[in-house]
């Protein structure tokens, strides 16, 4: 194919030269191209060097076009886009109506979320018993803000609470120790409040033990 005074080589799957639409891959000329130019130059009685200067370094190869791979990539792209759109819809829905936000639903009973949010907000406005870092303790609730969620835990449901250290590694900070507060309810639901300071965990557990002596606090390493 000659266009703009340049010769472009098209490698087709068949010898059919009837004008048609093709799906091909544009590749850079390699060692096999030299052989192709040499044979083509001989067929048209041209000098190999002249034809090489006249030819484009790009090859349009229909055989190199992997239709299955392209289809798979298209499906993957559509899937990723669908997940992104769904995630945006969920985030926007959570902003419009907080009780259905993922960070609120995590570790919380869905049917109790609206009531807990309302009650917890009222108690936060009235005054908190303990407020330090990302932990709030009101008259009836333990509220913890974690990396990915908010836990709203009724104090009367707590049967066991403890904390443990977590060693995190990153490119910037090699050793970053944070603490996770875990709370187990009387329905065996486990609430996880990550990324806390040790002092905050210790203080809130001491207050819980004072308010509710029946709650098991901490654990023994055996």
Average pLDDT across each block of 10 residues of the chain; the chain has 222 residues. List them in order.
63 64 68 69 71 67 70 89 84 63 52 72 86 87 79 88 79 72 88 86 90 86 52
Q: Token pair for residue 168?
A: 């995190």
Q: How many domains does the chain have?
A: 3
Statement to judge: residues 61 and 32 lie in one domain: yes
Statement to judge: residues 144 and 39 lie in one domain: no
Statement to judge: residues 196 and 103 lie in one domain: yes
Which residues are CB-neighbours of 100 under 8 A, at least 6 positions away?
Answer: 93, 94, 113
What pLDDT, on the 0 to 100 scale, is given for residue 122? 87
Beta pairing partners, 136: 131, 143
Statement to judge: residues 103 and 183 lie in one domain: yes
For residue 200, is it left (φ>0), alpha (ψ between -120 and 50) or beta?
alpha
The whole domain housing 134 covers: 99-217
| 197 found inside a domain | yes
With contact defined as beta carbons under 8 Å apart, do 142 and 124 qualify? no
What pLDDT, on the 0 to 100 scale, is given for residue 159? 93
| 51 found inside a domain | yes
Q: What are the Cα distances from residue 103, in Å, to 67, 69, 119, 171?
A: 41, 37, 18, 27
Statement to judge: residues 81 and 180 lie in one domain: no
pTM score: 0.51
| 196 found inside a domain | yes
Whole-number Å distance between alpha carbons of 27 and 164:
56
| 137 found inside a domain | yes
Statement to judge: residues 122 and 183 lie in one domain: yes
Statement to judge: residues 151 and 87 lie in one domain: no
With contact defined as beta carbons under 8 Å apart, do 222 and 165 qualify? no
Statement to judge: residues 146 and 196 lie in one domain: yes
| 174 found inside a domain | yes
Statement to judge: residues 32 and 20 lie in one domain: yes
| 222 found inside a domain | no
């Amino acid at each position: 194919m000659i266009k703009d005074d340049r010769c472009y080589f098209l490698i087709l799957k068949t010898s059919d030269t009837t004008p048609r639409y093709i799906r091909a891959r544009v590749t850079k000329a390699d060692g096999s191209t030299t052989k192709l130019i040499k044979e083509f130059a001989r067929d048209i009685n041209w000098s190999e060097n002249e034809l090489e200067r006249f030819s484009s370094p790009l090859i349009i190869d229909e055989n190199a076009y992997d239709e299955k791979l392209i289809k798979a990539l298209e499906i993957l792209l559509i899937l990723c886009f669908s997940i992104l759109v769904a995630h945006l819809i969920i985030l926007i829905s959570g902003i419009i109506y907080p009780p259905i936000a993922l960070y609120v639903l995590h570790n919380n009973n869905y049917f109790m979320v609206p009531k807990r949010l309302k009650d917890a907000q009222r108690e936060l406005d009235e005054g908190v018993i303990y407020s330090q870092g990302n932990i709030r303790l009101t008259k009836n609730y333990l509220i913890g803000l974690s990396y990915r969620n908010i836990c709203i835990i009724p104090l009367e449901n707590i049967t066991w609470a403890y904390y443990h250290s977590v060693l995190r590694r990153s490119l910037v900070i090699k050793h970053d120790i944070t603490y996770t507060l875990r709370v187990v309810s009387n329905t065996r639901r486990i609430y996880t409040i990550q990324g806390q300071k040790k002092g905050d965990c210790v203080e809130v557990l001491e207050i819980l033990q004072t308010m509710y002596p029946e709650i098991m606090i901490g654990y023994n390493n055996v």
